[in-house]
Structures are given as C-alpha cells and as structure tokens.
Structure 1
Amino acid sequence: MTKTLEKPAWTQPLWIMGLMSGTSMDGIDAALLRTDGVGIAGFGPALTMPYDPALRARIRACLNEGPGDSAALSRDLSLAHAAAVQALLQRAGMAAPEIAWLGYHGQTLLHRPAEGRTWQTGDGALLAKLTGIATVSDFRSADVAMGGQGAPLVPLYHAALARHAGLDAPLLVLNLGGVGNVTYIGGSDERDLIAFDTGPGNALIDDWMQHHAGVAQDEGGAAAGRGTVNSERLARLLDHAYFAAPPPKSLDRNDFTAAAVEGLSTEDGAATLAAFTAASVARGLGHLPQRPLRCLVCGGGRHNATLMRLLTQHLNMPVEAVEAVGWRGDSLEAEAFAFLAARAVRGLPLSLPGTTGVRVPVSGGRVYPV
C-alpha cells in the first residue's frame, strides 16, 4: 500500500525524521529536518542510539547472507529504531502527529549491484505501526533495478546543504562511514553532481582493532598515530582494479579485507589501514573534471585525527570536518534520509546518472501508512 500527500500539504516544508544505521554497524542515527525535498527550512534535534553488543553481533552474523536469524533481526532492528524515534520525539518535545514521515534506511546486509541485488533489512510496515508515523523505506532497490549502483544516495542532500550554506564550487564532500564515498559538487545544476564509493572508510580499521585489541574502533586515531605505515603492504592494498575503474561505482562493506596487513603490530596495522583509506580517496580525484577547492568530511572517520592528517597529506587541499561550515556531521546521513523520504513521496529523483550510474534519474522508496 502507498500513501500520497495532497498538493496543499506541500505548500510549506514539513517535519520529517530520518533514520540511518550505516555500514559501521555501530548504532542508529536519528534526526529531524524541516524540508520539502528540494530545499532546507530548518534543522531539529538529533541523537545517536548505539546498538547493544548482542544486536551488533547478530547483524554481523547475517552479513552477505551468512548464517543468522534474518527475519527476527528485521523485527528487532525495527523495534530498536522505534525506540530511537520515541527518544528523539521526547528530546524535541514533539508528538508523532507532528511528524509527516519517517525515512527508514534499514541496515545493509548485502550490496551487490553488479548482480542486481541490494538488501537493507528492517520492516517499514512494522515501524509505521510501532510509531504511528507513516514510513518510507527501501530507498535503493528501484535504482538497482534500473541499472544503477544503488549508492551513494546522499549526494542530492549534500548539494542541498551546499546551496543552503552558499558554498563555492567545485566542492568535495567525503563521507567516512564503514565505506568511504564522495560527492563532487561542480556547480548549481544537478547534472554537475558526481558521486562514487572511494574504498574503505572505517570498516577495515574497526575490524582490525576489534580483532587485535578487543575494541570497536581506533579511538581518535591514537593507535594509528603511534604506528608506522608499511609502504609495501599499502601498495599491495592499492593494487586493486576498483581504483582505476571509472565512476559511478560502489562497494559492499566486505569487498576489501585487512588480510594484507596481517602480521603487523596493532599500531602499524592501524596506521597502514588509515593510509589506505586516505590514499584511496586521493585516487578518486583522478576521476573528477576539476580539482575541488576544499574537502569537507562527515561520518565517524572525521573523529580520527590521524586519518584526517593523512587525508590532508594525500589530497593536498584543505580538509575539514563539516562542522567547519555549520553542518552536523554525526546526523548528516540521518538528515539525508529525511530529505530523501520527502523526495520519494513527491516522486522526485533520489539518484542520477552521475551519482549511481542509473540510466535516467529515478525516484524510489516504498511508503507504509500508519
């Protein structure tokens, strides 16, 4: 079933809540955005609700269709997202009827666009019933069905943010979640957008630290900062056909592994993997029509001081966290799925030939009424 809004409801922007749980699998980001899916009228509160360790372990068990309780996981993820919705409503002092839609990305378990497959688990119908708010989910399937990569989907929101802030082009926005991806904003026209996954973001570093130090991440890049980059191992990691392939292109979280740095110390392995992330972003610059004026970084990777230093060295341009221009780096992707939910309801494109390689601009999303 689908629900559409009557045209009068779009005479002014609406409050929409976006929900994002990314490839780092660390938890749920929720944010409120006032938007009509074209411009940005206001930002509401945001929060992050970490996954409990047991739920995170169950997600890992289901990655790439591995063994696991995927049906039960879909239900429990929706329950966790419903708790995040209620917590954010309480923080905002708002009630469910004041929110027009939920943009529910779900948790990616598999992404293989070359096979025409992408899988984000989570039950949009259940979330709508649990929260009393109509829910938009399944943002990627239509793009993949039309020959696109299904990712990245945030570029149209990056462009809206840049317009809202009056930033000069060309601009590079780098998202460092589990996978790294960039949006190149060449001008005011949507046709000037180029986007693609650059390579690993934090995933390999996180996995390395979990396996070798028993911690979820390299907090602040401290371990990498104490280590030494192994240039031979780095060259081996960069010797991959993906980096030479032209965009649009996208990755699954597990397309790269840390096997090339096995045998190194914890610190040297972290340093080499951080350098791999930075160098893979630099390789991506060769696919852009102009050199960007600056690089703005969102996602958890911007908190890794060693990684940010390496990015500055490899890109040879100003590299700053998005907070430098007033954006909210911890909630930006959740905001994006609020923005995309509005576009989905209005039938506006979620992806473009320059962002995912889809043949023509395509909308998407599945809408679940209360």
Structure 2
Amino acid sequence: MRHSATRNPADGIYFGLMSGTSLDGVDGIAVEFIAGKPPTVLADAFVDFPAGLRESLMALQQPGDNEIDREALAASALASRYAVCCHELLRSASIAPSHVRAIGVHGQTVRHRPEKGYTRQINNPALLAEMTRIDVVADFRSRDVAAGGQGAPLVPAFHAQVFGSADETRVICNLGGISNITILPAGAGTDASVRGFDCGPANVLLDEWVQRHLGTPFDEGGRFAAQGTVHTPLMEALLDEPFFDQLPPKSTGRDLFNAAWLDAKLAGFGELDPADVQATLAALTGVSVAREIERHAADCRAVYACGGGARNPEILKAMEGALAQGGVAVPVRSTEELGVPPHHVESLAFAWLAMRCIERAPGNLPTVTGAAGERILGAIYPR
C-alpha cells in the first residue's frame, strides 16, 4: 500500500461485510478511503449461506432450547462464511491481508430490543481475525444502544457523506429485509438536519411468503407479485400496526415483522390467492415507505433506492404510486445514478464505519438513533 505523510492515519483499504435480515448470504466490498476523495471500490463479492446455516440463523430469531450453544455454533459457521468472502475480496482485488487496514462486519441480527436496552448481532470476530489475519471491527450497534439510542439505522451518517446534494433534498431508501430511509436536506452534512429511521418490512415478509409457496429464497424481479392483485382489505389489516404510526427515532426487525405476524394478519381472510398476498406485501413495503416520506420529507426531489428490494419493480411502482397519491410526485431511482450500485451501499457503509472506529471518530447520528450524543462505534479485534 502507498504511504504518505499527508494521509490521515485511518486512510487505506477496508473491507465491509453485511449479512442482512433477508438471511440470503454475505455481501462484501473492498474499498480504499483517502481523505478528501470519494471512496474507491476495488472489488466486491457475494457468498451465500448454506441451507443449514440459514435454518440455524432463522431458528435463533425466536426463543428456543439450548440457545447459547446453538448461537455459538452458528456464530462460528457465520464467521467462516465471512472469511470465505474476505478471501474472495483479497483474490479479486489482488491484495495481501497486510494491505487491509480492517474488516468492518455487521454480524447477523437475531434480536433487536433497544426498548429493553440491548441488540444482538451474532458473530465470532475473534475467529474471523484469526482466519484472515486482518483486524476486525464488529459490534457497531451496542454503544449507541448503551447511550440510549435505537442502535439503528446506522447508515445515514454514511449516506450523508456520499449522497448529499447542495441543491436538493434527497431520500435514500434502503430496501433490505427491513426498509429504512435517510432524509438528506439540501446542503446537509452529518449534522442535526439529517434524519433517518426504519419504516417497516421490505423483503422479510416477501421472502417468507415466496419461500412458503414457490420454494425459492426470494421473488426474483418481483415476478410472483406481478402475477397477483393487491387485496385491499388485507392491505388495511397489514397497515393496522402501531409501529407504522410511531414517530422517529424508531427501528424494527424480525422481532415484530415475522411469519407469525403475517399469519395472524391473514387469519381472518380464509383462502387467498398466494400471488395476491405477494402483491399486497410488495405494496405494503412501497406504501409504508411512501407514508413516512410524506410525513417527514415532503420537500424531497428524488428518492434513491438501494438494497435487494431495489431490484423488485413491484415495490418501486407501489412506492411511486403511493407518493404521487400523497402529493409527493417524485421519481424513485437507483443509487446507481449517484455512483453506488444498490448492492454495494450497506457493505460500503460498514467499511466506512470501521474506518471511523479506527480513526476514533463517531459513527452514529444522535438525531437518527436517539442516542445521548455522538459515539465511536465498534469493538476492535486485532489480527
């Protein structure tokens, strides 16, 4: 790696790893940060989860027997997949482990209960450091929760760095397992004017339903949803959830939006066409996001989508339609138009958060999470 006396000590190559609520696998990115310049992506990789690991992680979403042992085993298996992803990034970028400053790894959320003072992302960062011989930065959310925050979303500070505009208010919408938005007022930096919060389910229920009925892990291209029609009474029942009316800061996850929640909502409707349910769930994602934009960012000039749901045209159409109906007639575009492909955004954000930790700089936005103040996020596991 090149060195310069003018460089920030935290400058260099970082890896970012993200395995989200959808439980499909690990997105990884290798990126070089140099102060005063846009981040340079050197390589990306995706490593899927074997069926057994996905099932183990899914089972840990709910209370069960022998959880400590099962969590520890799943965490080690997860770290092994993270290591595979890191080795693929090393190969693709043609770099040695010694050239990587640190790996920023989110871990897999199995509980998110900030109202009880904790959030739990399973991981074995010590094992990952051992397997890669690279410093690992992990456990980003706990410090924000300890400071009274939600611990989520953490990406708005990164969004403000790379997606802000001097001329227009923008909304960045992440459509992962859960949807969240970042509101970037014109000219805003990482300051009190930036807001962000979770909106509701994105792919988590869509994936659950398509797996149940088609045996596929996700609804590729929204094709299953496109075969159906939105069931209005079901949509009204789905929207009858207190979380949707809560004021930010707020965050959510599988603790609320899960198969049991969906089945309880479906219970009063008898037999529905599965494609109609899928269409309604896609619309639920679009409508719940649009309502939050109407409430909190009606002056925005564009919405930029990222995450897996950005590849589902049924979600994007529902969002655009609901925005127009609510009087916010703005286009829903891809973050690709801002220079970052949708599948890079979250892993890039955790590489950035790792860099901030190494730099001993805060990674949270108190106006987003509700924490008592700015905090340095993450715990470092040396190589």
Check conservation: 1:107, 1:122, Cα contact below 8 A: yes
Alpha-carbon offset, residue 10 of structure 1: 2.1
Alignment of 1:82 with 2:80, yes or no, is no
Alignment of 1:309 with 2:345, yes or no, is no
* 2:244 corresponding residue in structure 1: 243
TM-score, normalised to structure 1, is: 0.93
What CA distance in whole angstroms lies between the structure 2 residues aligned with 1:96 and 1:196? 35
What CA distance in whole angstroms lies between the structure 1 residues aligned with 2:293 and 2:118? 28
* 2:42 corresponding residue in structure 1: 44
Name whichever of 230-239 and 251-260 sits farther off. Answer: 251-260
Structure 1: runs of 5 or more not aligned: 1-6
* 1:3 corresponding residue in structure 2: none
What CA distance in whole angstroms lies between the structure 1 residues aligned with 2:9 and 2:377? 22
Alignment of 1:93 with 2:91, yes or no, is no
Alpha-carbon offset, residue 249 of structure 1: 0.3
What CA distance in whole angstroms lies between the structure 2 residues aligned with 1:250 and 1:183? 13
Where in structure 2 are the equivalents of 1:87-236 lying within 5 Å? 87-163=88-164, 168-186=167-185, 187-189=187-189, 190-236=191-237
1:85-131, Cα deviation, whole Å (9 max, x unpaired): 00111011111011000001111111011011100111111111110
* 1:4 corresponding residue in structure 2: none
Name whichever of 120-129 and 172-181 sits farther off. Answer: 120-129
Alpha-carbon offset, residue 64 of structure 1: 3.5
What CA distance in whole angstroms lies between the structure 2 residues aligned with 1:12 and 1:82? 22
Check conservation: 1:16, 1:33, Cα contact below 8 A: yes
What CA distance in whole angstroms lies between the structure 1 residues aligned with 2:194 and 2:39? 22
What CA distance in whole angstroms lies between the structure 2 residues aligned with 1:12 and 1:123? 24
Alpha-carbon offset, residue 82 of structure 1: 0.6
What CA distance in whole angstroms lies between the structure 2 residues aligned with 1:79 and 1:351? 28
Check conservation: 2:26, 2:49, Cα contact below 8 A: yes
**Larger RCO: 1 or 2 (CA < 8 Å, sep 6+):** 1
Check conservation: 1:33, 1:40, Cα contact below 8 A: no
Structure 2: runs of 5 or more not aligned: 325-329
Alpha-carbon offset, residue 36 of structure 1: 5.5
Check conservation: 1:124, 1:135, Cα contact below 8 A: yes
Aligned length: 362
Matching residue's letter, 2:158 = Y
Alpha-carbon offset, residue 9 of structure 1: 6.4
What CA distance in whole angstroms lies between the structure 1 residues aligned with 2:195 and 2:10? 30
Matching residue's letter, 1:182 = I
Matching residue's letter, 2:184 = I
TM-score, normalised to structure 2, is: 0.90
Runs of 4 or more above 4 Å deviation: 36-39
1:330 to 343, 348, 352: 343
Alpha-carbon offset, residue 293 of structure 1: 0.6
What CA distance in whole angstroms lies between the structure 2 residues aligned with 1:244 and 1:216? 30
Check conservation: 1:36, 1:343, Cα contact below 8 A: no
Matching residue's letter, 1:86 = H
Check conservation: 2:334, 2:341, Cα contact below 8 A: no
Q: CA RMSD in A?
A: 1.8
CA distance 1:49–1:237, shift in 2 (3 Å)? same
1:271 to 271, 279, 289: 279
Alpha-carbon offset, residue 38 of structure 1: 7.8
Matching residue's letter, 1:176 = L
